[in-house]
Structure 1
């Protein structure tokens, strides 16, 4: 496939890319609308979004500031609710779930990696990684734990507390915590935003490896074309609409697509 293959973000909405294997998408959305505020102050954050995210694929969501990318991710992850539309995650429709069910969904079936590492400062790296299972009253799969720790290069850092770790090591702990529950999807919200370029590249490489070697589905919001180039696919939003996509993204073709959307 040509590495520069894109759909023109200024013409028509993209058609979702089907996974190579005949399997259901990890996450799909149909007819998503979301408005914040009322009257003249109303802002339509999502305007009829239809999109699929293939299982075992690393997808980046990009667009201008205010395009709806963070709102889309928050709705897909059950952190926010759409006004209308349908979201299916791991074969379960999550639209309309109550607070208790959404809490269980986020705890058991979704992983999160944020720009802020969100580690508990008084806990060791190992305790931070195990925290979601502790809160759920579940025992860890030690073989899976060891595999993740080895893959992320954290074996010699498990007894360290966050202040004893570099920024990159802290984000690796956050990635390990997100992967430990074997979630249907890991959502990343600018996961390298607080890291220097070298450390950010390390973390992005680890996320990409988790799709290649662990079959993990990752959906990441980013503004950085270099970060997006680690993904298998980029979906482009503008004014709350899905307006294009890029397969086999590179920093150059992502930058060119964003330029067409008026992003300098």
Structure 2
């Protein structure tokens, strides 16, 4: 039964409640006890006085380990701000964020840098590859900067899974957009991070290549036990996830389990 002021949408095997006043989403019933990432009472305010903008307004949300979650909402809903705060790229105005059992709110810049390096992976829309380095060097770069040695067996497994074995000596300019994003995915997975965050990871790709990259992210969840949290504006991309978390005006507005493109589009239309 839909909540007051909201409605319920049905995906492949779940429902979404789009709520105008709720700010809390429970974990799916089959999720592990300890979430990979959680936020409680999260607010983020930019500016002051007449220019004050409330990007997040008391968000409580948890993300299960070993699950692929998409964050969606209308323009200005706070989805990118939420992801940046969860990933330690931005500091919330109030509230707490935990990566596993580690509360990251209150950490200083050096501690956040080490946490992002050691426990978080990133896949961005713009790939963020170093043009003078080969694909292999780009994949290894975070470990090089940390002064640690790679697990070569794990790297070979990732490279083989992502179909990059024959491309390791190529520089980014010699790779297609899809191949460059595969390199970025491999780099994100190499440190066995607690969570991989994707910020519009298919935004610069054509439909076929974007579908391929999403399949790779799903494979990292299914075969490698990875946790992936992705911000996207595309209902088709979001349908690759196990769960869609919806935001509107800085508040949580519902969720969709086992989403389909049509169900996601309908939920977003209701939030507009």
TM-score (norm 1): 0.96
Counterparts of 1:117-136 in structure 2, within 5 Å, are 117-136=127-146
Q: Partners of 2:38 and 2:13 in 1: how far apart? A: 25
Check 1:26–1:245 CA distance in 2 against 1; reply closer, same or farther (3 A cut): same
The alpha-carbon deviation at position 260 of structure 1 amounts to 0.2
1:112-166 Cα shifts (integer Å, max 9, x gaps): 0000010000000000000000000010000000000000000000000000000
RMSD between superposed Cα atoms in Å: 1.3
Q: Which residue of 2 aligns with 1:216?
A: 226
Q: Which residue of 2 aligns with 1:58?
A: 68
Asked if the contact 2:65/2:226 (under 8 Å) is kept, the reply is: yes
Q: Partners of 2:150 and 2:248 in 1: how far apart? A: 41
SS of 1:8's partner is: strand
Q: Which residue of 2 aligns with 1:32?
A: 42
TM-score (norm 2): 0.94
1:5 aligns with 2:26: no
Q: Partners of 2:57 and 2:148 in 1: how far apart? A: 39
Q: Which residue of 2 aligns with 1:187?
A: 197
Number of residues paired by the alignment? 262
Q: Which residue of 1 aligns with 2:210?
A: 200
Gaps of 5+ in 2: 1-9
SS of 1:3's partner is: coil
The alpha-carbon deviation at position 70 of structure 1 amounts to 0.3
SS of 1:171's partner is: helix
Check 1:19–1:138 CA distance in 2 against 1; reply closer, same or farther (3 A cut): farther
1:82 aligns with 2:92: yes
1:234 aligns with 2:258: no
Asked if the contact 1:7/1:244 (under 8 Å) is kept, the reply is: yes
